[in-house]
Amino acid sequence: MTLVIVDDVRAAAKRVAGVALRTPLLAQPWSERPLWLKPENLQPIGAFKIRGAYNAIAVLDDARRQNGVVAYSSGNHANAVAFAAKAFGVPAVIVMQDSTPRVKVEATAAHGAEIIEVPMADRERVAAEVAEQRGMALIPPFDHPEVIAGQGTVGLEIVEDLPDVDVVLVPVAGGGLASGVGVAVKALRPEARVIAVEPELAADTVEGLRAGRQVHWTPERRARTIADGLRTEPSELTFAHLREVVDDAVTVSEDEIRATMRTLATRARLVVEPSGAVACAAALHRDLPPGRTAAIVSGGNVDPALLAEVLRG
């Protein structure tokens, strides 16, 4: 199996420049641990997913791209593909699970994509059918080298802005972001520890990395976490990357995720979805190696009622 290398990430960085926001690293003077946040919630679609989706569409040849793209996703990847397709002026079909929060469905439709809602178990099959019937390119949420390379640009930027970073905290589920970030960080700053963070209610990846082989949890078991962006499991491709580039993996509780959403709102002035709070939750609640720490805030598309509830504590 060929793994993504840092040159792929560098090539992706050139492609996504001007479409994905070059997010700043935000120093957090209130934190005991020297902490910087990488606020991917500030991307135009509210999540890092724009990077991988845009890169994967950018590498298609022109004729293929003109036919349009199709994606299945729990939300943010959907929005990313719709946004990227609009940027290229090509049609997009998004297959979503029927329990996706309304805020994400509407955001995707607003980019002009056609939405098909199906039960979670049918998403992949329906997307493949649409791709074949309409001659569209399927852009998977993580199981694709150019998606991994695109997400890796987050890691590239962290090392650019904080060359002596010691610890990089990245949320993990499908593993596209953790794979790409790990590839970039370990290539450019091998001394840094790349630590994957997962909700303990969906900790199949952490369990698998510790076991040295992928383990499978049922979708129902993974769906227990509030972090709706982290309910998927790695593919063979991403798991192979994770084994190679992730130094350690830790879990955080649901209460810690909620508390961190509140802390990020009040101390960092960032609106963060549950999945987006997971990496920072580890910085605040886990005993990690010391040193300059960067935590990726992966997304901010949260139901306002949930955010209000969390703010009331």
Q: Establish whether 73 is a catalytic residue.
A: no
Q: Establish whether 38 is a catalytic residue.
A: no
Cβ at position 154, least distance to a copy of itself in Å: 15
Considering only 26, 128, 137, 215, the residue that binds a copy of itself (CB under 8 A) is 26
Which amino acid is located at 64 in the chain? R
- Contact between 83 and a copy of itself by CB under 8 A: the answer reads yes
How many residues in total does the chain contain? 313
State how far the Cα of 59 lies from the Cα of 61, in Å rounded to an integer.
6
Which structure tokens are listed for 225?
A: 């976490």
Q: Which of 49, 73, 186, 275 is catalytic?
A: 49
State how far the Cα of 12 lies from the Cα of 151, in Å rounded to an integer.
9
State how far the Cα of 34 lies from the Cα of 14, in Å rounded to an integer.
30
Cβ at position 64, least distance to a copy of itself in Å: 25
**From 65-73, 140-148, 199-207, 301-309, span contacting a copy of itself (CB under 8 A):** 301-309
- Contact between 36 and a copy of itself by CB under 8 A: the answer reads no
**From 70-78, 239-247, 250-258, 260-268, span contacting a copy of itself (CB under 8 A):** 260-268
20 contacts: CB under 8 Å, gap ≥ 6: 43, 50, 51, 54, 153
- Contact between 214 and a copy of itself by CB under 8 A: the answer reads no
Q: Which of 42/115 has CB closer to a copy of itself?
A: 42
For residue 292, the tally of other CB atoms under 10 A from its CB is 16
Which structure tokens are listed for 149?
A: 């390379």
Phi-psi region for residue 117, left (φ > 0), alpha (ψ -120 to 50) or beta? Answer: beta
Q: Scanning residues 126 to 185, which ones bind a copy of itself (CB under 8 A)? A: none
- Number of residues interacting with a copy of itself: please give it, by CB under 8 A: 37
In 148-221, which ranges are E strands? 167-171, 193-199
Q: Which of 169/271 has CB closer to a copy of itself?
A: 271
Q: Which of 80/245 has CB closer to a copy of itself?
A: 80
Cβ at position 163, least distance to a copy of itself in Å: 14
Q: Which of 128/265 has CB closer to a copy of itself?
A: 265
Q: Taking every pair of C-alpha atoms in the chain, what is the biggest distance, in angstroms?
A: 55
List, in sequence order, every residue forming a beta bridge with 176; answer none if it has no partner: none
* Residue ranges that bind a copy of itself, judged by CB under 8 A: 21-24, 26-30, 39, 41-42, 44-46, 83, 103, 110-111, 262, 265-266, 268-272, 300-301, 304-305, 307-309, 311-313
